[in-house]
Structure 1
């Protein structure tokens, strides 16, 4: 850690009083007064812990914070000359809040020992006063900054209440997920330890996928975005947390919560198997009742090829000449399918699905839209079997070949047919237009 980065880290200290006190630490350090820097650094750490507890007590009504402060105040009043309360404060903050990890407690206790050696002469030693070197002081400064001083005061289990209220306020502000991620990361998630992260995830899961009330309905989208951001930060730990708490995470309500749960599980298919069997059955039934939900329910198939085939078969069986309008797959979900197919090396496997959607259009408007979205952009990669399926399907559904834009659109089909079909004769197909003369 270079000296300039100490200054940079100091800019991230949250409490303005702590930031002012820390300047004295820096001045002593940069001027070579290492002993004084250590003595002041410990004092700054203790002050900042008190400020954080006061914040939690005053703003969040945190009973644990209030209890710790009361105990330290009582000890200090009874023992005004005894600094033992400082060491007790550190231990109580570790044991009764989620602010400190075990390794941070150990490092801060080392800082306390260094402070004690620097402040108190040892008569039995030749060098009565301890002489800390520059590297030791720099290490202790970094420990103090990382473990306490730069952590936000809301870094306890109380953070969820403030996070939920904040998400409610900014739900219309951050349309871009990267913007929301940067905001949540800088304000809440940056210093989360595993315990608090898991507790927040558990609470977010509940308001997103479990609770049904007006407020949760209004904030379900922003909350589901936050759930994803938090899960992505620590997938392994939170996956194991879900595994160990399966009954809790299997509590998913019907309606909007279930729909959003399907979207979430579609992004993380490995989580589906961690839920209870009853919940998996409910989710499967819900997904299969809605073609758009089924499209993102990757957890129901062994691989992407099987999943695409599942969608094709369902459209043939349940949506013959009735696809589009209310019964459709959103274009963003089709693009996700295409991306997954490309990643699996089966890019052209999606073509059949694109064609089957179009040739089962329920009306002219649906056919117009689907040709524009799913046929025209991809027709140049359709092979002979794709084109033959498309031509035959157009002929069997008058909602495709009778529509006003049909002739213009289907000339593109004829052009591709001439390229990939041997001995193709457009005159054999009454529903197809003649190709334009070159």
Structure 2
């Protein structure tokens, strides 16, 4: 395992002032002035917390961050001792309790650093038999530096309490409206917010968006369902293991979804890209979702997560559509599925079925035009030519159409070009 590099880690310090001041710590550490290094490090940690809160107020108008700064400033002002450290302790406590910036372990590490800072900065010679000042060891100082880099200094300011709600309510809709396409939205959201959120903030954002997208039906959720659903997909793509843990550790919450039409469309899109997450839900809600999906053929074709594999879903879908009316939307969804599996034959069969279900002469002509675009006549093999003739011969909406002779001529021309001879129409009495 590669040794931890303080130099490399320090390059990831987010605030420019903190990065500048941190050089003092490294300078003292390098020449063996360990008391000075500890004292400077603690001062820089407190300063960095203030910098981050101020950044959030300026960048996001974060009311939670502003309140912490205001309360800490008031405590500092009222204390008679100008250099009292009480406000520093209050700052760490408030940031720990009211923001997502510090973990419990980080707070404990700061407390440990503070104790060594106090011992290093204040004479304790009267308390020691050896008449020596306290000096932390090189290993202790290195441990402090590492824990502060990992727990505080290399974290972004974007972790305060209200930020997740601000992102959902204001930032996401604004970026989504400004983006020309969804990939541009993804890029902006990652660079401006997601890359700076810690794991807890990501989990919180995902959890709230799940509820807003798949469960709630108030006006705001309806308005923002597209951007919320898109962001769920983005978070799952970038932070797949965090999302997996979220759902697997709280199955009850994530199984509370409402498979109504709007929500169901988004569920199909989400689970089709993340089938393993569907199987983490409660078995009963899985069945409910599947039952709702099967009411609409297009939904079922798109729902590859309902089958064990993509190949199996094509088989299941083909069987499911056997006795059902095929819509253009269903046909397009099936086309996408067959292309993923490179199964042209299955697509040809469904297109012929779609053509056979023509409701009028006009509809039949329109569907034949679509058939030619999706499966050019010259691409058919001999068996498929005769399957097409059979469809035309058994549908009065096709063979009674005034343009049917022209369609037969087109087929014959394509067949002669492909096979070297025209097709035998003797078995198709309605087409002669």
Deviation sequence 1:324-372 (CA, Å, 0-9, x none): 4xx52374x4465236536xxx786555445544554552334423431
Q: What is the deviation of 1:67? A: 6.6
Runs of 5+ unmatched residues, structure 1:
14-18, 434-438
Mapped pair 1:392 → 2:394: no
Mapped pair 1:255 → 2:261: yes
What is the match of residue 103 of structure 2? Answer: 101
Larger Rg: 2
| Distance verdict in 2 for CA 1:353–1:258, change over 3 Å | same
Task: Provide the aligned length of Structure 1 versus Structure 2.
Answer: 409
Counterpart-to-counterpart distance in 2, 1:386 and 1:143: 70
| 1:223 maps to which of 215, 220, 228 | 228
What is the match of residue 155 of structure 2? Answer: 151
1:24-35 to 2 correspondences below 5 Å:
24-26=21-23, 29=26, 35=33
| 1:196 maps to which of 201, 206, 214 | 201
Counterpart-to-counterpart distance in 1, 2:43 and 2:397: 79
Q: Which secondary structure state, in structure 2, belongs to the residue aligned with residue 180 of structure 1?
A: helix
Counterpart-to-counterpart distance in 2, 1:413 and 1:309: 30
Residue pair 1:308, 1:353 contacting (<8 A) in 2 also: no
Residue pair 1:265, 1:299 contacting (<8 A) in 2 also: yes
Name the Cα RMSD after superposition. Answer: 4.5
| Distance verdict in 2 for CA 1:340–1:415, change over 3 Å | same
| Distance verdict in 2 for CA 1:182–1:30, change over 3 Å | farther
Deviation sequence 1:242-293 (CA, Å, 0-9, x none): 3424255423262322322232223223333444566445433332232221
271-280 vs 207-216, which deviates more?
271-280
Residue pair 2:24, 2:40 contacting (<8 A) in 1 also: no
395-404 vs 235-244, which deviates more?
395-404
Q: What is the deviation of 1:76? A: 7.7
Q: Which secondary structure state, in structure 2, belongs to the residue aligned with residue 155 of structure 1?
A: coil
What is the match of residue 436 of structure 1? Answer: none
Deviation sequence 1:175-209 (CA, Å, 0-9, x none): 44443333222222224344332221121122222
Runs of 5+ unmatched residues, structure 2:
none
Residue pair 1:121, 1:128 contacting (<8 A) in 2 also: yes
What is the match of residue 313 of structure 2? Answer: 307
| Distance verdict in 2 for CA 1:143–1:182, change over 3 Å | farther
Q: Which secondary structure state, in structure 2, belongs to the residue aligned with residue 185 of structure 1?
A: helix
| 2:215 maps to which of 203, 210, 213 | 210
**Structure-2-length-normalised TM-score:** 0.73
| Distance verdict in 2 for CA 1:418–1:48, change over 3 Å | same
| Distance verdict in 2 for CA 1:301–1:427, change over 3 Å | same
Counterpart-to-counterpart distance in 2, 1:95 and 1:69: 16
| Distance verdict in 2 for CA 1:408–1:66, change over 3 Å | farther
| 1:288 maps to which of 294, 314, 318 | 294
| Distance verdict in 2 for CA 1:57–1:30, change over 3 Å | closer
